[in-house]
C-alpha cells in the first residue's frame, strides 16, 4: 500500500514509433467505482496483478494530486470490475525509457480506439525532460483525457 502526491504530465502521441522503443508492454483493464472529480476509485487488472486506487482532486493546472494504491488479488479485481460503472477501459501500456525518464504510453482499445496518450511522472512540477519526436500536444489537466472520463465519454463519441 502506498500513498503519494502524483506529479505527471500527459501528451497526445503522434506516431507509433514508441512501440519499437518500448522495454515493457502489458494489457490493462480498468473500471471505476467512483468518477467524482473530488475522488476517483479505480479497479485495475494489470498483467497478473490487481490494484485498487483512490485519487483525490487534481490541482488547478492538473499536474498533481493525491494517490493511494493497494495491491489486491486478481480475483478481487475481477469481482470488483463487475461492480464498476459502465465503460470499462481496455488498453495496452508501453513503457519507454527516454533519456532516463519513463513514459507510459497507453494505446487504447475498444470504445477509445484511436487514442494514444503518453504520461510521464516527475519529481517536481518544474522538472525538465526530453520530449521525443512522437510526443504531440500536451493535454495535462484536460479532463476529457482522464481515464475516468474516457470511461464515461469514450473517444469514439468525440
DSSP letters, 79-142, are HHHTTSPS--EEEEEEEEEETTEEEEEEEE-GGGTT-EEEEEE-SSTT------TTEEEE-TT-
- DSSP lists the bridge partners of residue 13 as 135
Flag whether pLDDT at 130 surpasses 90: yes
- Does domain 2-157 fall under CATH 2.60.40.10? My reply is no
Percentage of the chain exceeding pLDDT 90: 90
pLDDT, tens digit (0-9, with 9 covering 90-100), for 85-122:
999 999 999 999 999 999 999 999 999 999 999 999 99
Split at pLDDT 50, 70, 90, the class of 5 is confident
Question: pLDDT at position 4, please?
Answer: 85
- DSSP lists the bridge partners of residue 70 as 52
**What is the SS3 assignment for 150?**
helix
Question: pLDDT at position 60, please?
Answer: 86
Domain borders along the chain are: 2-157
Q: Do 85 and 95 form a contact (C-beta atoms < 8 A)?
A: no
Q: What's the pTM value of the predicted model, to 2 decimals?
A: 0.93
Question: pLDDT at position 6, please?
Answer: 87
User: What number of residues does the chain have?
Assistant: 158
Averaged pLDDT of the chain: 95
Amino acid at each position: 500500500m502506498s500513498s503519494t502526491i502524483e506529479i505527471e504530465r500527459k501528451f497526445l502521441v503522434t506516431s507509433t514509433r514508441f512501440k519499437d522503443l518500448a522495454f515493457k508492454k502489458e494489457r490493462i483493464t480498468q473500471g471505476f467505482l467512483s468518477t467524482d472529480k473530488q475522488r476517483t476509485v479505480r479497479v485495475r487488472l494489470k498483467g497478473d496483478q490487481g490494484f485498487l486506487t483512490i485519487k483525490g482532486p487534481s490541482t488547478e493546472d492538473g499536474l498533481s494530486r493525491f494517490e493511494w494504491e493497494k495491491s489486491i488479488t486478481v480475483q478481487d479485481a475481477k469481482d470488483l470490475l463487475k461492480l464498476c460503472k459502465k465503460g470499462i477501459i481496455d488498453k495496452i501500456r508501453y513503457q519507454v525509457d527516454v533519456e532516463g525518464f519513463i513514459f507510459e504510453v497507453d494505446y487504447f482499445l475498444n470504445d477509445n480506439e484511436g487514442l494514444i496518450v503518453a504520461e510521464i511522472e516527475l519529481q517536481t512540477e518544474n522538472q525538465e525532460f526530453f520530449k521525443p519526436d512522437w510526443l504531440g500536444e500536451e493535454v495535462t489537466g484536460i479532463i476529457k483525457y482522464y481515464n475516468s472520463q474516457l470511461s464515461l465519454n469514450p473517444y469514439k463519441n468525440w
